[in-house]
């Protein structure tokens, strides 16, 4: 555009400056009136070209901004899509596995609790039997120390306190066995107390482990994971809608750029046409007209008449005919045979 405005021919058209000779006659006045129209069109066309140049630059800037926004939106969409594909899918599958495992743990824990309670109850029953055993041991000791039973004791063990005479043969180890029956239940009673206490401690520890609390924890985890995945899916849908809208905007922007470029090029073509036309009209380079001067005749009126009878525009006709041939070649994709020229050309 700067080249257009700096063109010397263009400046001459605006200033009215022209080195060509102009005659003061009706023909020249008509040419000048048409020249003014062309120069006005040239000036208007130059303004349109400048305007369309700015419009084309603006459309390009808008397109770059929209393309940048689309690229960032697409990257954001891909980020959440990948998050859903990998993290979301893994989290969903993990929750399903955790849910199944927690259900197994709760069942096993319930079964274990039943077994431990059953063992504790059995130990409680055994403790009662051991109390009976201790009572029996006490009765046995009382009977053994009763002087009324010395004869029976001597018959069993071979001797007894307060019994005179030689010892008799008794049952082998009977004394040791009787003492064991008296003393052993006391130790066993202490052991069963320990077992009884330990069994119920184990029941309490198992109860305190509270495996059942895993179920609500797993439920909350599953709910939060679902909310997280739903949030990701919601963002993905929003970004997908944004991408479709931005894609439509980009397509429209491309169309606007193309339209602006075509209109700019069209107006450039108009400007070049007005420019060339104005140059031709203001200072025509045409030399096809052969002027006739009276001085060439030497005052011979007959010779002057012969010259005046000669056509002046025949060469112009030939030049125009050549333009027709050039135009035919210019707009064809294949070579066009050169048409036969009119004999008059």
Q: Which two tokens stand for residue 203?
A: 């029941």
Rounded distance, CA 107 to CA 324, Å? 100
Whether residue 334 has pLDDT greater than 50: yes
Residue 278, classified by CB atoms within 10 Å of its CB into exposed (0-12), middle (13-18) or buried (19+), is buried
Residues in the chain, overall count: 345
Per residue in 152-200, pLDDT (tens digit) is 666 666 666 655 655 556 666 777 777 777 777 777 788 888 888 888 8
Strand positions, DSSP E, the chain: none
Q: Where are the domains of the chain?
A: 47-285, 289-345
Rounded distance, CA 101 to CA 196, Å? 33
- Of 1.10.10.10, 1.10.287.950, 3.40.50.300, 3.20.20.450, which CATH number belongs to 47-285? 1.10.287.950
Per residue in 248-298, pLDDT (tens digit) is 988 999 999 898 889 888 888 888 887 887 777 777 666 666 665 555 555
């Amino acid at each position: 555009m700067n080249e257009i405005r700096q063109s010397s021919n263009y400046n001459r058209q605006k200033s009215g400056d022209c080195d060509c000779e102009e005659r003061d006659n009706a023909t020249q006045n008509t040419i000048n009136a048409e020249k003014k129209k062309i120069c006005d069109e040239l000036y208007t066309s130059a303004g349109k070209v400048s305007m369309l140049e700015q419009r084309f630059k603006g459309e390009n800037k808008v397109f770059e901004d929209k393309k940048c926004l689309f690229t960032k939106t697409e990257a954001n969409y891909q980020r959440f899509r990948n998050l859903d594909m990998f993290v979301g899918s893994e989290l969903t599958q993990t929750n399903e596995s955790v849910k199944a495992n927690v259900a197994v743990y709760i069942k096993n824990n319930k079964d274990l609790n039943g077994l431990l309670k059953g063992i504790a109850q059995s130990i409680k029953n055994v403790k009662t039997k051991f109390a009976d055993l201790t009572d029996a041991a006490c009765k046995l000791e009382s009977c053994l120390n009763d002087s009324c039973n010395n004869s029976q004791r001597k018959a069993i063990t071979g001797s007894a306190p307060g019994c005179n005479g030689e010892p008799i043969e008794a049952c082998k180890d009977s004394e040791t066995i009787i003492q064991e029956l008296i003393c052993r239940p006391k130790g066993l009673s202490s052991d069963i107390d320990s077992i009884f206490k330990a069994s119920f401690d184990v029941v309490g520890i198992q109860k305190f482990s509270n495996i059942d609390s895993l179920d609500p924890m797993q439920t909350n985890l599953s709910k939060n994971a679902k909310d997280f995945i739903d949030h990701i899916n919601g963002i993905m849908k929003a970004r997908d809608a944004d991408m479709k809208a931005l894609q439509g905007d980009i397509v429209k922007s491309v169309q606007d750029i193309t339209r602006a470029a075509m209109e700019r090029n069209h107006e450039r073509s108009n400007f070049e046409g007005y420019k060339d036309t104005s140059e031709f009209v203001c200072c025509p380079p045409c030399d096809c007209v052969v002027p006739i001067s009276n001085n060439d005749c030497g005052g011979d009126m007959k010779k002057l008449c012969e010259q005046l009878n000669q056509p002046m525009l025949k060469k112009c006709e030939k030049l125009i005919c050549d333009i027709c041939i050039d135009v035919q070649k210019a707009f064809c994709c294949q070579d066009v045979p050169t048409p036969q020229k009119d004999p008059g050309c």
